[in-house]
Amino acid sequence: MSRSISAFFVLLLTFGWFWFSWKWYTCWLMNACETGVTTEVVDVPEEPAQELKRYPIDFQWSNPTAFTNSGFETYKQQILEGLKDDNRLEIVGLYFDGEETVDTFENIGLARAEKMKSLFSPPIPEERILIRARIVEAPENAKNTYFQAANFNWMEGERKSVEELEDRIIIRFAINSTQMTYDPAVDTYLQKLSKRIQKTGEKVSLTGHTDSVGTPEENLRLGENRAMAVKEILIGKGVNPSQVSVASKGESQPVATNSTPEGKQDNRRVEVVLQKEE
């Protein structure tokens, strides 16, 4: 009888060992324990990728290529409607702080303008297209999307000594000059500006720029002296000195190529930006 009992216990232990091994494998190792709770596996659909907005002409970060898309031909024809016998098309390539410079160009804005020039010549004669650049504030998420970076303007006659843009005013200087030679257009503008800021309390930032003649250090000082010359004129017209700030970018932000006399003249400038009083 003792043998029967021993055999029974051996059988029981063997069964227990098999049961424990099976439970360990299915429950703890395979994570398939029965808990009495039914778990439903639901497939969550992936969100569709958001389609990037495109424009008739658009660009990507640190890339000068002009991408043409739906609506470009209509947009191009609208620009070409301004063509006359004696005017010129100014193409302004916009760029942002932090973008990489392209070889052979002073900045990527000029490279973008050159790319766009090929889209309009022909039919516009190449000599009647001017390329320019302008640094502006980057749009939101610019590094990961497409954006607009082009302005087109028809110009008649010689370039003005005072040019009013959407976000700034440009005052141009003669070569190597820090003095404002008398110019009726400049005097009229500064008179109007002085009256406005005395009335509104707005503050004005003046930033001097130069061409590439001379060393960067010399041009930094030259740009500051140009901005100071404009500030002194405004003070002489009754503006509080505390309303006018002065800075210089020297030769670091050209709006045109420095390889031509006309381009150098465009780069010798003071940019005026109005700031509302908070």
Strands 63-68 and 57-60: antiparallel
Range of the domain at 88: 51-157
Domain count of the chain?
A: 2
254 preceded by a cis bond (ω within 30 of 0): no
Q: How many other C-beta atoms lie within 10 A of the C-beta of residue 58?
A: 20
Within-domain flag for 226: yes
Residue 28 pLDDT > 70: no
pLDDT of 262 reads 87
CA angle 71, 130, 183 (to 5 degrees): 125
* pTM, to two decimals: 0.72
CATH number of the domain bearing residue 80: 3.30.1330
How far is the C-alpha of 13 from the C-alpha of 123, rounded, in Å?
Answer: 96
Q: Specify if 198 maps to a domain.
A: yes
Which run of H or E residues covers position 94?
strand 88-96
- Band the pLDDT of 71: cuts 50, 70, 90: very high
Taking only the tens place, the pLDDT of each residue in 149-200 is: 999 999 987 778 888 888 899 998 766 566 666 678 888 999 999 999 999 9
- Find the farthest-apart pair of alpha carbons in the chain and give their distance in angstroms, rounded: 130
CA–CA separation, 26 vs 30, rounded Å? Answer: 5
CA distances from 212 to 18, 71, 75, 92, 174 (A): 88, 39, 35, 20, 14
